[in-house]
Amino acid sequence: MPDQDRIVAIGLLTQRDVFALGHDLSRVYPIDEMPCFGSLLGAIDDADRAFHRARDAQQLAIPLRQSATSRA
């Protein structure tokens, strides 16, 4: 996906928020009380947690590999 098409934020804004941010927002998609939006946010949270767990596990494994090679 090209960088200019990459999603960088998802948020719930009131109409007042949108007016206050004005032209700083490049795209706004209104959502009318869609029940699936909560599921989308939950899926994003799940993906974020999985990313952090994998990154943390990788960071923990690096010192273990380094100490194993230093003993050899």
The model's pTM is: 0.45
Structure tokens given for 18: 């949108």
- Which residues, in sequence order, are CB contacts of 13 under 8 Å at separation 6+? 21, 28
Q: What gap in Å lies between CA 30 and CA 39, rounded to an integer?
A: 17
pLDDT at 3: 67
- DSSP-derived letter for residue 5 is G
C-alpha torsion sign, points 18, 36, 39, 8: negative
* pLDDT tens digit at each of 72 positions of the chain: 566 677 777 778 888 988 898 877 878 888 777 778 788 888 989 999 999 999 888 888 876 555 556 655
